[in-house]
């Protein structure tokens, strides 16, 4: 069997050789299928056709300006306040009045406090005591001749003036006129007579011309 197989193979080789010799090999051109390539279309776009995107506005944060001092501030010098001068109190004084400057001032202040005309007061004092500060008859005393019965005893000349003008001021407010007020000051009640009042007011006019 093996021998037969070998003989068959040998015969095949001989036949192949003969065929090659008789029919030389030709070049076979193999044509490979070409891929179909679609033409690329190039589109030209004008610059104006392309919408230009608007720039995005970035909000700028508000920054408070920082004050930069150009130079060191000059300290402000406070003005030195001038010392306040107390108003000088008015001092009433006249050499024609036979009273000390102190008692004249007391008389003036008492008249201002009680609404008394100072010239009426001078006329009253002249008539009552003639400016004698220590005059005392046992019933009335002092420069304004105050009653021991109705006023404190032992008043100083200054207090005697203060009490006398305060009393006359009250009578003037209650009765509204000097004639009535002076009459009650002298007699203790309104007698209807104006003799005392007229004498006092006459003396007041004298002092009005002297002071």
Q: Is 66's pLDDT higher than 80? A: no
Whether residue 190 lies inside any domain: the answer is yes
Tokens representing 198?
Answer: 């007229």
**pTM of this prediction?**
0.59
Model pLDDT, residue 32:
46
Model pLDDT, residue 10:
78
Name beta bridge partners: 147.
140
Whether residue 32 lies inside any domain: the answer is no
Give CA angle at 157 (156, 159), nearest 5°.
65
Whether residue 210 lies inside any domain: the answer is no
Whether residue 162 lies inside any domain: the answer is yes
154/57 Cα distance (integer angstroms): 103
Give the CA radius of gyration of the chain.
72
Give the CATH number of the domain where residue 143 resides.
1.10.530.10
Q: For the chain, what is the domain count?
A: 1
Whether residue 34 lies inside any domain: the answer is no
Whether residue 211 lies inside any domain: the answer is no
Determine the structural domain holding residue 173 and report its residue range: 101-205
pLDDT tens, position by position, 71-115: 555 666 676 767 666 665 666 799 999 999 999 999 999 999 999
């Amino acid at each position: 069997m093996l021998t037969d197989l070998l003989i068959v193979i040998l015969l095949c080789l001989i036949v192949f050789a003969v065929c090659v010799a008789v029919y030389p090999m030709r070049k076979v051109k193999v044509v490979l299928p070409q891929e179909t390539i679609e033409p690329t279309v190039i589109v030209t776009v004008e610059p104006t056709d392309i919408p230009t995107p608007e720039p995005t506005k970035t909000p700028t944060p508000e920054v408070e300006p920082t004050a930069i001092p150009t130079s060191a501030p000059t300290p402000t010098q406070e003005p030195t306040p001038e010392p306040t001068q107390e108003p000088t109190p008015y001092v009433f004084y006249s050499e024609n009045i036979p009273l000390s400057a102190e008692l004249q001032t007391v008389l003036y202040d008492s008249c201002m406090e009680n609404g008394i005309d100072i010239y009426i007061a001078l006329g009253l004092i002249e008539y009552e005591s003639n400016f004698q500060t220590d005059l005392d008859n046992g019933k009335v005393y002092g420069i304004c001749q105050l009653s021991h019965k109705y006023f404190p005893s032992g008043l100083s000349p200054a207090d005697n003036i203060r009490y006398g003008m305060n009393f006359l001021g009250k009578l003037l407010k209650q009765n509204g006129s000097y004639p009535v007020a002076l009459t009650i000051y002298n007699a203790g009640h309104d007698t209807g007579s104006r003799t005392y009042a007229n004498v006092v007011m006459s003396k007041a006019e004298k002092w009005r011309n002297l002071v």
